[in-house]
């Protein structure tokens, strides 16, 4: 693990393997360890870069909203530091919001996009209010309540009852997130712009993955992105909810590897 100073704060990241660069951006309120199995599967053939987005993992948190645009700039500055001009940019959920914000600001730096369990729409007014309440709750009470409320939406009931190691992994990531980092991400997600219009302007290869039972970013959101992004490929992963890369690692990795082989050979 390494650190870089960006915008006055320290960001942690890992940079593993050699080959065409692939950046993987975790969701909220997780950290770069979300991608351990993908780093393992890809790093024999690719250079895989996994940052802890600001406020998460071992990266610093700042007060106030951590916007998706600012997180995308952090990623761009990390790539500058690593002397990488273009990369595959992938993200799960909030990481997908950041990937779309990155494409909007730096389209020529994106070789291909991977959008997992995410969506292009902004929050509704009601959604924004809920984010602000959750941000206050995280700051006042810490992460345990947030983690308990989120768990049943992140994993299928089958995973929750039969795979305690996956439940523990997801829960531990959430508990490790700093409350001020979680609050910043919540306020940043609430402020994010609607990227629906951007979709038809995406010209790079794009892979869209979604758990069939994802209640946070449902399959319809991915179908919409797939209709609007020219030439994209949609994969609906059965028996998975929101954290599809952890629930169905084998299928997720197989689709990701196939896509990378086809699109950036």
The site for ligand MLT (CB under 6 A) is made up of 27-28, 93-94, 189, 216, 242
We find the least distance from the C-beta atom of residue 230 to ligand MLT, in angstroms, to be 25
What is the distance of C-alpha 135 from the center of its chain? 19
We find the least distance from the C-beta atom of residue 117 to ligand MLT, in angstroms, to be 7
Q: Cα angle vertex 233, ends 232, 236, to 5°?
A: 140
Integer-rounded Cα radius of gyration of the chain: 17
With beta carbons less than 8 A apart as the criterion, state whether 155 and 12 touch: no
We find the least distance from the C-beta atom of residue 1 to ligand MLT, in angstroms, to be 22
We find the least distance from the C-beta atom of residue 22 to ligand MLT, in angstroms, to be 19
Q: Which is nearer to ligand MLT, 186 or 264 (CB)?
A: 186
What is the distance of C-alpha 256 from the center of its chain? 14
We find the least distance from the C-beta atom of residue 264 to ligand MLT, in angstroms, to be 25
Q: Which is nearer to ligand MLT, 28 or 259 (CB)?
A: 28
Backbone angles phi, psi at 121, to 5 degrees: -70, 155
Q: Which is nearer to ligand MLT, 47 or 192 (CB)?
A: 192
Q: Which is nearer to ligand MLT, 147 or 204 (CB)?
A: 147
Counted residue by residue, the chain has a size of: 265
CA–CA gap between residue 225 and residue 242 (Å, rounded):
17
CA distance readout (Å), 178 to 30, 53, 142, 144:
10, 12, 8, 11
Instruction: Extract the runs of DSSP E, i.e. beta strands, from the chain.
Output: 2-6, 9-16, 20-25, 46-51, 87-92, 110-116, 206-211, 233-237
Q: Which is nearer to ligand MLT, 27 or 181 (CB)?
A: 27
Q: Which is nearer to ligand MLT, 15 or 221 (CB)?
A: 221
Q: Which is nearer to ligand MLT, 47 or 213 (CB)?
A: 213
DSSP string, 27-89: -TT--GGGGHHHHHHHTTTEEEEEE--TTSTTS---SS---HHHHHHHHHHHHHHTT-S-EEE
We find the least distance from the C-beta atom of residue 44 to ligand MLT, in angstroms, to be 28
We find the least distance from the C-beta atom of residue 27 to ligand MLT, in angstroms, to be 3
Whether the link from the prior residue into 175 is cis, omega within 30° of 0, is no
């Amino acid at each position: 693990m390494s650190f870089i100073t960006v915008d006055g704060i320290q960001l942690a990241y890992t940079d593993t393997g050699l080959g065409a660069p692939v950046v993987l951006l975790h969701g909220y309120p997780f950290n770069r360890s979300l991608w351990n199995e993908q780093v393992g599967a890809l790093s024999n053939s690719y250079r895989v870069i996994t940052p802890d987005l600001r406020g998460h993992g071992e990266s610093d948190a700042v007060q106030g909203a951590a916007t998706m645009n600012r997180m995308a700039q952090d990623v761009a500055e990390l790539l500058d530091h690593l002397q990488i001009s273009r990369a595959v940019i992938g993200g799960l959920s909030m990481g997908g919001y950041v990937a779309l914000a990155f494409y909007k600001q730096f389209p020529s730096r994106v070789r291909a996009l991977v959008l997992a369990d995410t969506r292009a729409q902004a929050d509704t007014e009601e959604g924004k209010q809920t984010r602000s309440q959750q941000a206050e709750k995280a700051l006042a009470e810490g992460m345990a309540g947030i983690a308990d409320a989120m768990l049943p939406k992140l994993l299928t009931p089958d995973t929750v009852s039969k795979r305690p190691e996956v439940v523990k992994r997801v829960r531990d990531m959430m508990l490790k997130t700093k409350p001020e980092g979680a609050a910043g991400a919540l306020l940043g997600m609430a402020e994010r712009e609607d990227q629906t219009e951007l979709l038809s302007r995406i010209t790079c290869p794009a892979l869209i993955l979604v758990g069939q039972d994802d209640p946070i970013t449902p399959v319809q959101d991915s179908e919409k992105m797939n209709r609007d992004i020219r030439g994209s490929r949609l994969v609906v992963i059965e028996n998975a909810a929101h954290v599809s890369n952890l629930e169905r690692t084998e299928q997720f990795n197989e689709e990701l590897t196939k896509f990378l082989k086809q699109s950036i050979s």
